[in-house]
Amino acid sequence: MLLGCALPNGMCGEGVEECMHWTYSCPHCDAALNPDTSIVLRAAHDGTKMLIGLHPQPGNYEVELPPGGAMPPGTRWDISCPVCDHSLVSDLSDELCAIDMCSQEERHRVYFSRVAGEEATFVVSAEGMLTDHGVHTDQYLEHMVHLKYMR
């Protein structure tokens, strides 16, 4: 899983401090999802429910879990907003979730895999894809190209 702030010129490559000017929010209720250095989301799978903290930097797939929490690799999680409880599963792919990230001047959509252990994150603007991160991006890129050009 996830994510982070990704400017086209790579300004955020230095670390979390560089990314903190971005606010991550729910695309449904616009609630802020990063009250501190983590992006907080609700995750559920097979009767297990918990809040998780995702690292805000793209390409960093660290996930903070509550004590005793586990996300076994390959498990598919229902990810939702902790404020409005709306599902964050995207229309783009059933395997990707979407949240918004914005600063005063820019707004982007961030897509990330909801499969534990899978590394695939995409930062998209109105003009198109800005960056992609992770070793599992190819399967999604092919699907996105198919949707856009092979209708």
pLDDT of residue 140: 84
Query: Which residue range(s) make up the domain with 42?
Result: 11-149
Residue 16 belongs to some domain of the structure? yes
> 113: burial class by Cβ within 10 Å (0-12, 13-18, 19+)?
buried
Following CA atoms 33, 6, 136, 95 in sequence, which dihedral angle do they give, to the nearest 10 degrees? 40
**Residue 3 pLDDT:** 43
Residue 69 lies in a domain: yes
Averaged pLDDT in 10-residue chunks for the chain of 151 residues: 39 45 91 93 97 88 95 97 97 91 85 95 83 88 63 44
Q: Would 1 be classed as within a structural domain?
A: no
| pLDDT confidence of residue 145 | 59
Tokens read off for 94: 């059933």
Q: Is residue 58 part of a domain?
A: yes
Q: Is the residue at 6 inside a domain?
A: no
Answer whether residue 3 is part of any domain: no
Structural domains counted in the chain: 1
Q: In this structure, is residue 2 part of a structural domain?
A: no
Residue 148's pLDDT is what? 57
Residue 4 lies in a domain: no
What does DSSP assign to residue 124? E
